[in-house]
Amino acid sequence: MRKLKIGVIGGGSISDLHLDSYSINEQAEIIAICDLNSERSKQKAERYGAQYTYSSYKELLANPEVEAVSICTWNHTHAEISMAALQAGKHVLVEKPLCTTVKDALQVEQIVKETGKLLQVGFVRRYGSNTNILKQFIDHDELGEIYYAKASCLRRLGNPGGWFSDKERSGGGPLIDLGVHVIDLCWYLMGRPKVKSVSGNTYNKLGNRANVQNLSYYKAADFDASNNTVEDLAIALIRFENGASLMVDVSFTLHAKQDEMSVKLYGDKGGAEIEPELLIVSEKYDTVVNLTPQVDMLTFDFVKGFQAEIDHFVDCCLTGKETISPVEDGVEIMKILCGIYESSQKGMEITF
């Protein structure tokens, strides 16, 4: 059995999900790990049996044995490293978001076309079992025309700090970190319509609330209570060329009773909730009915989702199949995200 030789660039927490998934895939072999912290790359190389370690991604890309890479670095480096990897002849799985600007997204897309290599964007929720089940219902027209979707991902206390709260490195706060997931999930299930306009607001009222005690939350390894340049909350209305609409709100911190994760879609034949649990709403014989699938997992499982994403990437690299999360989709999502930030800054709707 031929194995795809993998290099992982970036050794932060998200890389563990990639590395764990590659290590389970029988058609993948982790041979190289790169991190600015050479000690961390060595530790992970020992754990996963990688032959090579680097502190420079350019050195990793120069290794002819590496066939494909996962990019798990700070957001503002995604475009640069993706383009370098493609030009070095590597297939690329880049963590979401594709990059931090539309200009960079278009450049990455152009390099993909020029090199003919695969680039898969890490829209991991597309690979969830609940997503795949609902998509089968949608593909068989059970919901009909989906004309409205609504998504919320609200943390009452959850600014991770560190690079997440540094706009220069992250590109933004909860919108680009959390919103990218729920916006893409809705957009994907709605049939990926072209965006027409966005109207949004972002707020920075509460900061990272590092003063709060007795309530724990995830903190980045480089958490710094004094540094926060990203928004607390983002809200937006997104309009598509086919007339459909998507409403979204996401937060790192908010004076809310509890965290909230909710994703809903509405069509002219039926509706659905995919978070917090999969549920399909239909109308049968003049009666409204709620349909709950009998499945192992009604919500998204991150570990299984990442495994499915990695398995799909490896399979596409080895067989030449097209990925379900291509660079073109990364570009469209960047248009939406950057449009929301621009709309908030200018106080007006942004059209495309």
Residue ranges covered by each domain of the chain: 4-125+305-324, 126-300+333-351
Distance in angstroms (rounded) separating the CA atoms of residues 54 and 89: 18
The CATH architecture annotation of domain 4-125+305-324 reads 3-Layer(aba) Sandwich (3.40)
DSSP string, 201-252: EEE-SSTT-TT--S------TT--TT---S-SEEEEEEEETTS-EEEEEEES
Residue 81 CA, distance from chain mean position:
17
pLDDT of residue 219: 84
Q: Phi and psi (nearest 5°) for 34? A: -125, 135
Please state at what angle helix 302-319 crosses helix 13-24, rounded to 10 degrees: 60
Inter-residue contact 108 to 134 (CB < 8 Å): no
Give CA separation, 18 vs 171, 231, 313, in Å.
Answer: 22, 28, 11
Distance in angstroms (rounded) separating the CA atoms of residues 30 and 18: 10
List average pLDDT for each run of 10 residues in the chain, which is 352 residues long: 96 95 98 96 97 98 98 98 98 98 98 98 98 98 98 94 92 97 98 98 92 88 83 98 98 96 98 98 97 96 97 98 98 98 98 96
pTM: 0.96
The identity of residue 174, as a single letter, is P
pLDDT of residue 1: 81
DSSP lists the bridge partners of residue 53 as 33
pLDDT of residue 127: 98
Please tell me the CATH code under which domain 126-300+333-351 is placed: 3.30.360.10
**Segment holding 103, helix H or strand E:** helix 102-115
